[in-house]
Amino acid sequence: MKKIELKNIATEQRNSNSNNLDTKNTKEILEVINKEDAKITNAINAAMPKIIEATDTIFESVKNKGRIFYLGAGSSGRIGVLDASEMLPTYGIGDMFYGIIAGGDIALRVPVEGAEDSKELAIEDLKNVNFTKNDIIFVIGASGRTPYCIGAMEYAKSIEAKSIALCMTSNSEFKQVADICIEVLVGPEVVTGSTRMKSGTATKMVLNMISTTTMIKLGKVYDNLMVDVQTTNEKLVSRAINIVKEITKINDEKLIFSKLKDCNMNVKLTIICLLKKVTLDVAQKMLDNSQQVLRGALQ
């Protein structure tokens, strides 16, 4: 593999737009940061063909019971864990997207020195979650050269599993290994090398796009409403009631809440029961026959 020198990576370059940053006042500093952040959406748009390819690949995998493992070190790893952990409360998915950070969960709060430099650690982490050729490894690293991530992709390749990479530089080491490499060229950071800034924001945006689109394609969204929301707190119970109201056009919240309880707080089943005036068992069969897609069940 051709090694890429850190000094030649875009995210490590100095940003001329933030020269003399320490001499500026609060307003000036914030304006510099904001102007640089405004460049992120254009950078993502330029990478859209690869983002589309990655999303379609992920959708086909999860549709066939494959799992997606985000894997990274430092800020990249933390953002991956964040996106994966939000799948359960939002879409009812707890066994599809996973986040792995170099150094283990303790590294979410405290840096674990040297973890990102170990290829062997990545292999160990993937073996611990029984990673198989039916799964996909999705590595994240602004520099595109993190050994922990490269080790994970090499292991994936060795067992014939697919790998996707996300980085913020072109012609990276990731690109030499990954099946699909998404390069979001956000440019040098306001504070040189501080990739928790533009790079981190771009990472969060791209992962949100990919995971959300996958959930929509799986039928977790009806219109623009999250019909597989998990009612794990008072706010989410209210959201579930409002979703049922929106779709059924029924305004009686007591009736809706009662039916939700009868349907084990399942929004989709509640909507089918109310709109089609069927029993829970029949609603479940209708939903099963439509592969859990509410629009299909209602039609």
Residues belonging to the active site = 86, 116
Closest listed residue to residue 192, CA positions, set 70, 40, 16: 16
Three-state secondary structure along 243-273?
HHHHHHCCCCHHHHHHHHHHCCCCHHHHHHH
In the DSSP assignment, the letter for residue 183 is E
Sheet holding 162-167, edge to edge: 97-101, 68-72, 136-140, 162-167, 180-183
Amino acid at 33: I
Query: Backbone dihedral region of 104: left (phi > 0), alpha (psi from -120 to 50 degrees) or beta?
Result: left
CB atoms < 10 A from the CB of 120, how many?
Answer: 11
Residue 163 tokens read as 């790998």
CB atoms < 10 A from the CB of 279, how many?
Answer: 11
CB atoms < 10 A from the CB of 171, how many?
Answer: 14
Q: How far is Cα 235 from Cα 141, in angstroms, rounded to an integer?
A: 35
Q: How far is Cα 209 from Cα 37, in angstroms, rounded to an integer?
A: 17
